[in-house]
Structure 1
Amino acid sequence: MSEQLIGQTHLNIGGKVLAAIDPSVYSESVAHYAAWAAHRLAAPLEYLHVLNRHPEHADSKDLSGSLALGAQEDLLKKLALLDESKCKLAQERGRLLLKHAQAIAQTFHGIQASSKLRHGSLVETLTEQEADVRLFVLGKRGEHADFAKGHLGGQIERAVRAVHRPLLVVSRAYTEVSKILVAFDGSPTTRKGIEMVAGSPLFRGMHVDVLIVGKEDEGTSQALEWALSVLTAAGLSNRGLVVAGDPEEVISLRAKEESTDLLVMGAYGHSRVRQLIVGSTTTSVLRACRIPVLLLR
């Protein structure tokens, strides 16, 4: 097995698990999956909550210009006090969210986690922290996402494109992971993903389904045989699946039909499968899958 290929995934090298916590319904699931991953990887765990620099100004309008000078000054003072109060409340809420996540890690997974409260942009903060990160963990949608329409959070889409470490995008409910599905097409990128799965303690003892979306032919059979042999050598039970159709639809459907706990996908390249996380179909797959998706960079 190629140590160089495995190392490029960053799951098998040093670094922490960094999980972004916000007030959305995904916060507990993020806390659980991050603690689960940190425990299996024997990696440090840190929970992060990012406060917008000036959230109090996001939807406000400045109406003070039409007021008399004295009234204007009085209004500005009141607004300043209100802004200060909002900031303090946001910070306190962030601290409580982080403490709750730490309690989940300790109570349910038996590990200690550190926490960090930062001001700024979530995506910028993640990229700034990247050098010390082994795995990012985020919820599928943030607190302002449109659940009625099933949209992904805009922050999540930007983070997927910005970071270069593996990124675990979690579902709303936490479920212990014992069976995973790997989207595979025989390319160097997805072969790297197979080697990562085989070599990472994150998946030790699990069952792995390897899915190729396409036509079954000699090339497909040889690629699948290679993938299964790597997994077998690592002691992982496995099965190969070749299904014709559109990757966007097939991957989500097979994940559901096979009762998969986690989907693993590669990031780069030009095939239909590997374009999923860099093109418009990223949103469709992440939205359709009701299980966590591990995106390899």
Structure 2
Amino acid sequence: MTERHITACIDGSHFSTSVCDAAAWASRTLQAPLTFVHAIDRNARPAAATDTTGQIGLGAREHLLAELAELDEKRARVAREEGRLMLDAACERARADGVDAPESRQRNGELVETLTDMQDSIRLLVLGKRGESGETAHGHLGSNLERVIRSLACPILITPQNFTAPERILISFDGSATGQRMIERVVASTLFAGVECHLVYVGDPSEQRRKDLDRAAEQLQGSCASVHSEILGGEVEATLRDYKQRNAIDMLVMGAYGHSRIRQLLVGSTTTDMIRHAKLPLLIIR
């Protein structure tokens, strides 16, 4: 059976430090091996050739194509070396954080493609909220992150620019079968063993919803230091954001899909908005 790792994706963005810290925390807490991954997107490099037929002579064109090919190879070598240095620095930081023998992998190809190929060995994936190309676009959420969330079945921890080990988490629960599976996965994990848990349902109150919430809270009792449950009305994103602020929440946990308004958190615009505006880590569980 393939050993499953905490897998952390790093690049040249300012989010890589928080990714390292979050991955080290998860590795220590779960006593799971840690692997850092750096993907070199071949499509991000300039094309080796440009069709200038009819604009320059054949000899000049052949010379230009040779120079472009040589330049492209130099860029590729620099990208590989930069990636190796980043991976070495990430492993050194993880060791300083108490992780034994962190590993590293450098892959050529798109990030989503790389992670899809590796997903059988991923126990938890850690990503920065924005990658290297998107970090200066403050209102923009890169397509890579959304594609990863949609493509992979493993839990995904999305970090802001700073990470500290959580003391209080908020689990957004919708009462669906998917939401129940999320609770079961949290219960089966030791990730939040010493953490205060806030279990919140956003929607119209009913007897059935209270029963579902109480049952989920009871399941979580043995997996968290303490559990508080509450049903709240209002719009999902705004209500959860207000609750986080009032209760000094350190991390938000939610399922990827559901059958109520929470479903919009992935398939509509709400998840994108929550990730875009999040100033704390977000764990998405399928």
State the TM-score, normalizing by the size of structure 2: 0.93
Q: 2:149 aligns with which of 146, 157, 160?
A: 160
- Shift of the 209–68 alpha-carbon distance from structure 1 to 2, 3 Å rule, reads same
User: 104-113 vs 145-154, which deviates more?
Assistant: 145-154
1:216 aligns with 2:215: no
Residues 61-86 of structure 1: CA deviation (Å, up to 9, x unaligned): 54465111222122122112211110
Supply the distance in 1 between the matched residues of 2:224 and 2:4 (Cα, whole angstroms). 25
Query: After TM superposition, what 4+ stretches of structure 1 lie above 3 angstroms from structure 2?
Result: 58-65, 146-149
**Alignment partner, residue 86 of structure 2:** 97
**Alignment partner, residue 239 of structure 1:** 228
Supply the distance in 2 between the matched residues of 1:17 and 1:257 (Cα, whole angstroms). 31
Q: 1:253 aligns with which of 214, 225, 242?
A: 242
User: Which letter maps to 1:166?
Assistant: P
Supply the distance in 2 between the matched residues of 1:193 and 1:166 (Cα, whole angstroms). 10
**Alignment partner, residue 31 of structure 2:** 42
Supply the distance in 2 between the matched residues of 1:188 and 1:250 (Cα, whole angstroms). 22
Supply the distance in 1 between the matched residues of 2:3 and 2:40 (Cα, whole angstroms). 28
User: Which letter maps to 2:194?
Assistant: G
Shift in Å, 1:58: 5.8
Supply the distance in 2 between the matched residues of 1:288 and 1:59 (Cα, whole angstroms). 38
**Alignment partner, residue 68 of structure 1:** 57
Supply the distance in 2 between the matched residues of 1:84 and 1:224 (Cα, whole angstroms). 57
Query: Are the counterparts in 1 of residues 213 and 229 from structure 2 also a CA contact under 8 Å?
Result: yes
Supply the distance in 2 between the matched residues of 1:242 and 1:59 (Cα, whole angstroms). 58
Supply the distance in 1 between the matched residues of 2:183 and 2:278 (Cα, whole angstroms). 20
Stretches of structure 2 lacking an aligned partner (at least 5 in a row): none
2:45 counterpart SS class: helix
Query: Are the counterparts in 1 of residues 169 and 250 from structure 2 also a CA contact under 8 Å?
Result: yes
Residues 203-236 of structure 1: CA deviation (Å, up to 9, x unaligned): 1111000011012332222122212222224453
**Alignment partner, residue 277 of structure 1:** 266
Query: Are the counterparts in 2 of residues 64 and 75 from structure 1 also a CA contact under 8 Å?
Result: no
State the TM-score, normalizing by the size of structure 1: 0.90
Residues 135-165 of structure 1: CA deviation (Å, up to 9, x unaligned): 1111111111164442111100111100011
Supply the distance in 2 between the matched residues of 1:237 and 1:133 (Cα, whole angstroms). 29
- Shift of the 168–114 alpha-carbon distance from structure 1 to 2, 3 Å rule, reads same
1:186 counterpart SS class: coil
What percent identity do the matched residue pairs reach? Answer: 40
- Shift of the 199–24 alpha-carbon distance from structure 1 to 2, 3 Å rule, reads same
Shift in Å, 1:107: 0.5
**Alignment partner, residue 121 of structure 1:** 110
**Alignment partner, residue 100 of structure 2:** 111
1:136 counterpart SS class: strand
Supply the distance in 1 between the matched residues of 2:124 and 2:175 (Cα, whole angstroms). 24
User: Which letter maps to 2:114?
Assistant: T
Q: 2:161 aligns with which of 167, 172, 175?
A: 172
Shift in Å, 1:271: 1.0
**Alignment partner, residue 6 of structure 2:** 17
**Alignment partner, residue 230 of structure 1:** 219
Residues 13-39 of structure 1: CA deviation (Å, up to 9, x unaligned): 951111111111111111111111111
1:84 counterpart SS class: helix
2:213 counterpart SS class: helix
Query: Are the counterparts in 2 of residues 178 and 206 from structure 1 also a CA contact under 8 Å?
Result: yes
Query: Are the counterparts in 1 of residues 52 and 61 from structure 2 also a CA contact under 8 Å?
Result: no
Residues 233-262 of structure 1: CA deviation (Å, up to 9, x unaligned): 445301112211111222233223322111
Aligned residues: 285
Query: Are the counterparts in 2 of residues 46 and 116 from structure 1 also a CA contact under 8 Å?
Result: yes
1:202 counterpart SS class: coil
Q: Output aligned runs, 1:124-143, within 5 Å.
A: 124-143=113-132
Supply the distance in 2 between the matched residues of 1:152 and 1:61 (Cα, whole angstroms). 31
1:111 counterpart SS class: coil
Query: Are the counterparts in 2 of residues 265 and 274 from structure 1 also a CA contact under 8 Å?
Result: no
Stretches of structure 1 lacking an aligned partner (at least 5 in a row): 1-12
Supply the distance in 1 between the matched residues of 2:41 and 2:120 (Cα, whole angstroms). 22
